[in-house]
A and B are shown apart, each in its own frame.
Chain A
Amino acid sequence: MQARTFILITLVVAAAGFAATQIVSNDYVFFAGYTVLQFVVLATAWNILGGYCGYVNFGSAAFFALGAYSTVFFHKAFQMPIPLLIVVGGVVSGIIGLGMGYLTLRLRGSFFAIATLALAVVLQTLIVNWDYVGGSRGAYIIRPSALNVAGREIPYIEYLFLLMLLLAVLAIIAARTIERSRLGFGFATIRDDELAAEASGVPTLRLKLIATTISGALMGMAGAPFPYYIGYLQPQSAFALDYAVNSIAMPMIGGTASWIGPLIGAILLGTIQQVATVTISSAVNVLIVGVLLVLFVIIAPNGLVGMVQDLLRRRRA
């Protein structure tokens, strides 16, 4: 499928999704939908480094929180509009991603994963001790109840939902474009065999830096509107374990080799979590993710997409 056709289809699907929300006259749809879409962006962003390049990042929450706290900082300092804050959050997290990559990408496997976890701890400690953005006591962002667009009052949560929907579209298009590009080929060789990649002329360090920057930037963009969504941002909520665990589990369950895996994983797991939150308790969310992750690692180590591909291959053979 041509890139233009794919972009068009993605936009049409997103528009149809948004139109469907207009049928339901309940704000909870937007709250739940926002969370699911936020995980679509996080899972897709994680997959660019973790799935395409094979470098497992345990520090997703740090990049997400960086986006959220850059919003708090710039909201307080300059009163910027949210779309601009999303761009700023992406730039800040992208720069930190590049820096983290430069410092840690000579490490491989579990050493790299531990280093990313350490980054999250270091950043959380910095935020906890930074009074300007609320420190350990947290920061309030009072969001307006509605937004006036061309004379029409739109509930603010609907506006946030729409922004996250557009971010999800952007993340998916970026992931798919990368996957089918020269860059994507390079990423795949890094995942398969870094030594052979270098011997084939692939500048592996440069490509990994590109991956950490893009991945970090998208995670930061996902985190930027979060203070407006939650209203009160504190380090425990921004650096929550949920973000790190979900951004790994969703691509693993959906499948890491392709852009569609994280999308399926995020929609599936995100929806289950939202249903569990309403019917049981939000406290069981991490338990659900843990159980599903263990099951998938055993039953379908290549995720749902990999399982379907294997079944089709066997049927053809």
Chain B
Amino acid sequence: MTAPLLHIEQVGKRFGGFVALDGINLEVAPGERLGLIGPNGSGKSTLVNCICGTLHNETGSVTFDGRKMDGLPAHQRTVLGVARSFQLPRPFGSLSVAENLRVPLLYAVKARSGSHLSATELDERCVEYLRLVALDHKATRRPRDLTQVEMRKLELARALAAEPKLLIADESMAGLSHSEIEDILKLLLELNARGITIILIEHIMSAVMSFSQRLVVLVSGRKIADGNPAEVMRNPEVEKAYLG
């Protein structure tokens, strides 16, 4: 069996008296498409933040690609190969769309490879990623000129420009129309086909079901189900959590 790309062991996080994560165990294999679902406040975003280093887990450990990441700041985890998109797009407003992609190339990719990318190489890679998300025609525009779906695509493209092994897409489809959701799904599948492991956090069940090879359900900071998406959805505990 191949070693897991991401290994989460007994991860716990509290906010004062509130237990946000309660001893979460999770393994993600290289190249896997994992769906992470749960009602609001179930701890999905806290778990993502603990993986990405925005928050630090108080108990347990997070191992990525064989390396323990506990205590590492967020930027070092990005350098190791963990990238994320945010629930609400957080573009760099003063930079153009292409420049937004230059940032991870200038920092994460350079720190990983140790070599300096020339201006031409930088431009080429930016264009490549923008083309992938069909934003190449808006390379010189500011993020404020983009539509909601374009903003989500920019968010994914920027995460992608960090050239990650693991991409965590946090509610990348929230607020989008059916055709726009299809667009994002197609893009995520294409990225996965390129070898990127993806964790998709989403409330839109049709999207999660069609995307995920495996489904994990969190409720009140605990993992209550983990397995084949169809089987997980038939799990009485999951039904109870969603339908009451």
Decide yes or no whether A6 CB sits under 8 A from chain B: no
Complex CA distance for A204 and B73, rounded to whole angstroms: 10
Taking the closest CB of chain A, its distance from the CB of B197, in whole angstroms, is: 17
| A to B CB contacts below 8 Å, 14 in the list | A186-B106, A189-B103, A192-B94, A193-B90, A196-B158, A199-B52, A199-B78, A199-B86, A201-B78, A201-B107, A201-B108, A201-B111, A202-B107, A203-B76
Q: Closest CB of chain B to A199's CB: distance in Å?
A: 6
Residue B95 interfacial (CB < 8 Å): yes
The reply to whether the CB of A200 lies closer than 8 angstroms to some CB of chain B is yes
Is the CB–CB distance between A191 and B162 below 8 Å? Answer: no
A205: chain B residues within 8 A (beta carbon):
73
In the complex, the answer to whether A257 meets B107 with C-beta atoms within 8 Å is no
Q: In this complex, what residue of B is CB-closest to A182?
A: B106
Query: Which of chain B's residues have a CB closer than 8 A to the CB of A202?
Result: 75, 103, 107
* Closest chain A residue, CB of each to CB of B111: A201
Q: Is A80 an interface residue (CB 8 A)?
A: no
What are the residues of chain A within 8 A of B109 when measuring CB–CB? 201
**0/1 string, B40-54, CB within 8 A of A gives 1:** 000000000000111
Interface centre among A182, A189, A201 (most CB of B within 10 A): A201
Q: Which of B74, B109, B158 has the most CB of A within 10 A?
A: B74
Answer yes or no: B17 CB below 8 A from chain A CBs.
no
Q: Which A-B residue pairs are the 4 nearest by beta carbons?
A: A201-B108, A198-B74, A201-B107, A196-B90
| B156 interfacial by beta-carbon distance below 8 Å | no
For B110, what are the chain A residues with a Cβ–Cβ distance below 8 Å? 182
A174 to chain B minimum Cβ distance, whole angstroms, is 20
- Of A186, A188, A191, A192, which one neighbours B107 at CB under 8 angstroms? A186
Query: Shortest CB–CB separation between residue B22 and chain A, in angstroms?
Result: 25
Interface residues of B (CB under 8 A from A): 52-54, 73-76, 78-79, 83-84, 86, 90-95, 99, 102-104, 106-111, 158-159, 161-162
Contacts of A186 in B (CB 8 A): 103, 106-107
Which residue of chain A is the closest to B49 with respect to CB atoms? A195
Q: Complex: how many Å from CA A199 to CA B85?
A: 9
A187 vs B61: C-alpha distance in the bound complex, in angstroms?
Answer: 32
Report chain B residues within 8 Å CB of A195.
54, 74, 86, 90
Secondary structure type dominating chain B contacts: helix
Known: A196-B90, A203-B107. 11 other contacts (CB 8 A): A185-B103, A186-B107, A193-B92, A195-B86, A196-B92, A197-B75, A198-B74, A200-B75, A200-B104, A201-B78, A201-B111
Report A187 CB to chain B, min CB distance, Å: 10
Residues of A within 8 A of B94 (CB): 188, 191-192, 257
Residues of A contacting B52 in the complex (Cβ-Cβ under 8 angstroms): 199
Q: Which residues of A contact B104 (CB under 8 A)?
A: 200-201
Known pairs A191-B94, A192-B93, A257-B94; A199 contacts B106 (CB<8 A)? no
Contact A198–B73 (Cβ < 8 Å):
yes
The B-contacting residues of A in range 163-186, CB under 8 angstroms, are 182, 185-186
In Å, the complex CA distance between A9 and B205 comes to 61
User: Which of A185, A189, A199 is the one whose CB lies under 8 Å from B84?
Assistant: A199
Q: Give CA–CA (A205, B73) in the complex, Å.
A: 10
Which residue of chain A lies nearest to B54 when distances are taken between CB atoms in the complex?
A195
Which residues on the B side are within 8 Å of A192 (C-beta)? Answer: 91-95
Could you tell me the distance in whole angstroms from the C-beta of A213 to the nearest C-beta in chain B? 19
Interchain nearest-CB distance for B125 vs A (Å): 14
Give the one of B83, B84, B86, B107 with max A CB within 10 A.
B107
Minimum C-beta distance from B194 to chain A (A): 20
Q: Which residues of B contact A201 (CB under 8 A)?
A: 75, 78-79, 103-104, 107-109, 111, 162
Please give the distance in Å from B70's CB to the nearest CB on chain A.
17
Question: Is there contact, CB below 8 Å, between A200 and B54?
Answer: no
Contacts of B73 in A (CB 8 A): 198, 203, 205
Bits for A18-53, please: 1 = Cβ < 8 Å to B, else 0: 000000000000000000000000000000000000
Tell whether A197 pairs with B54 under 8 Å between CB atoms, given A192-B95, A203-B75, A257-B94.
Answer: no
CA–CA, A192 and B108, complex, Å: 18
Name the contact of A188 in the complex, choosing from B74, B78, B92, B158 (C-beta under 8 A). B92
- Please state if B54 and A199 are interface contacts (CB–CB under 8 Å): yes
| Nearest CB in chain B to that of A54: its residue | B94
B111 contacts across to A, CB distance below 8 A: 201
Most buried by B among A185, A193, A200, A203: A200
